[in-house]
Amino acid sequence: MLIYGDHSALPNMMSRGIKKSMSFFHANQREVLNQNLAELQGQINVSFEFFPPRSNEMEQTLWQSIDRLSELKPTFVSVTYGANSGDRKRTHSVIKDIKERTDLDATPHLTCIDATPQELQAIAWNYWLIGIRHIVALRGDLPPGSGRPSMYGADLVALLKTVGDFDISVAAYPEMHPEARSAQSDLLNLKRKVDAGASRAITQFFFDVENYLRFRDRCVAAGIDTEIVPGIFPVSNFRQLKHFASVTNVKVPNWMTAMFDGLEHDLETQKMVGASIAMDMVKILSREGIKDFHFYTLNRAELTYAICHTLGVRPRDRDKDHSPR
């Protein structure tokens, strides 16, 4: 049988036959992925990340998005914590509003740079008093030129556990945190955070699905037994994505650059392309057994809602299959 060698020597008919069977192969793969999703109806859990709005207009957009996405009964919705004190107060007030106005599990992010342990304990205690039981615990980005921080993510996890028995999520980096000495030391850091009491890790956004799957395997091998929830970033503006990726050490594959090429002034089409990329990713990840997905919504509902729909996360299924959380 001709396996190796110069395929251009194949008779035309035969090469057409190979092309035909390759396309059957891909069509079959797609069939399998879609079939798998159909079988997962009601088993997928989603969570959504928002950021505190800085204007009345942004606040309206945020609430429209929260209202729309809350129909999907997310496991939790989280609100990021900014580096300056104004943003920090806003996180608290958005969390309080979500808690009061909805039945969602409102989850604040909290960073430990730029705050004393006493201040962090006070913030955590205030959250505990208003009924918050889940926190995303982070170190936060270091201001340029700053020295070695006095606290890391693992220290914050331990501190929070002294305040109350919070459910704690931490950050994980399939493509390595930009400051990490090596992939292995970064993995050991994640293990320290889990050993300190974190019950789940949410990843930095990524586009290399295989690399995420390898990272998940390495976590298991290192004894990290929590969910490594993929952070999905539905791209709606490729230029903005390139900026985020450059500061977070995330690879933007060449095929993605090619897909967005020529759409610089066409944000509507960019959204469709972004949704299609994210839908492909979640299909493959769900096929690999991932049941929890965290979406970086950038306070917009449309793309995230569409991707969740693809995953079979729909209002009627949630009502049927899930008792209120």
Ligand X SMILES: Cc1cc2nc3c(=O)[nH]c(=O)nc-3n(C[C@H](O)[C@H](O)[C@H](O)COP(=O)(O)OP(=O)(O)OC[C@H]3O[C@@H](n4cnc5c(N)ncnc54)[C@H](O)[C@@H]3O)c2cc1C
SS3 call for 35: helix
Whichever of 139 and 270 has its CB closer to ligand X, that residue is: 139
Select from 14, 83, 122, 220 the one that contacts ligand X (CB under 6 A): 83
Q: How far is it between the farthest Cα atoms of the chain?
A: 77
Q: What Rg do the C-alpha atoms of the chain give, in angstroms?
A: 22
Q: Is 49 a catalytic residue?
A: yes
Q: Is 107 among the residues that bind ligand X (CB under 6 A)? A: no
Q: Is 271 among the residues that bind ligand X (CB under 6 A)? A: no
Angle, in degrees to the nearest 10, between helices 183-195 and 209-221: 60
**Buried/exposed code over 93-132 (b: 16+ C-beta within 10 A; e: otherwise):** ebbbbbbeeeebbbbbbbbbbbbeeeebeebbeebbeeeb
Closest CA to 297 of 252, 246, 229, 236: 236
SS3 call for 168: strand
- Of 31, 49, 119, 179, the catalytic one is 49
Closest CA to 136 of 80, 72, 188: 80
Q: How far is CA 177 from CA 4, 189, 204, in A?
A: 42, 10, 9
The residue whose two tokens read 């009924």 is 131
Q: Is 179 among the residues that bind ligand X (CB under 6 A)? A: yes
DSSP state of 9: G
Q: Is 230 among the residues that bind ligand X (CB under 6 A)? A: no
Encoded one letter per residue, x for contact with ligand X by CB under 6 A and - for no contact, window 8-27 reads: --------------------
Q: Is 74 among the residues that bind ligand X (CB under 6 A)? A: no
Q: Could you tell me if 206 and 176 are in contact, meaning their C-beta atoms sit under 8 angstroms apart?
A: no
Select from 111, 236, 270, 297 the one that contacts ligand X (CB under 6 A): 111
**Piece in contact with ligand X (CB under 6 A), picked from 19-27, 63-71, 133-141, 305-313:** 133-141
The residue whose two tokens read 């492909």 is 280
Q: Quote the least distance from Cβ 53 to ligand X, whole Å.
A: 14
Q: Is 299 among the residues that bind ligand X (CB under 6 A)? A: no
**Piece in contact with ligand X (CB under 6 A), picked from 1-9, 131-139, 274-282, 317-325:** 131-139
Q: With CB under 6 A, what is the number of residues at the site for ligand X?
A: 23
Select from 73, 134, 139, 271 the one that contacts ligand X (CB under 6 A): 139
Q: Is 87 among the residues that bind ligand X (CB under 6 A)? A: no
Q: Is 222 among the residues that bind ligand X (CB under 6 A)? A: no
Q: Is 189 among the residues that bind ligand X (CB under 6 A)? A: yes
Q: Is 73 among the residues that bind ligand X (CB under 6 A)? A: no
Q: Is 140 among the residues that bind ligand X (CB under 6 A)? A: yes
Q: Is 88 among the residues that bind ligand X (CB under 6 A)? A: no
Whichever of 155 and 277 has its CB closer to ligand X, that residue is: 155
Closest CA to 77 of 311, 244, 304, 322: 304
Q: Could you tell me if 293 and 72 are in contact, meaning their C-beta atoms sit under 8 angstroms apart?
A: no
Select from 85, 185, 211, 240 the one that contacts ligand X (CB under 6 A): 185
> Could you list the residues that contact ligand X (CB under 6 A)?
80-81, 83, 109, 111, 136, 138-141, 152-153, 171, 177, 179-180, 185-186, 189, 193, 202, 204, 231
Active site residues: 49
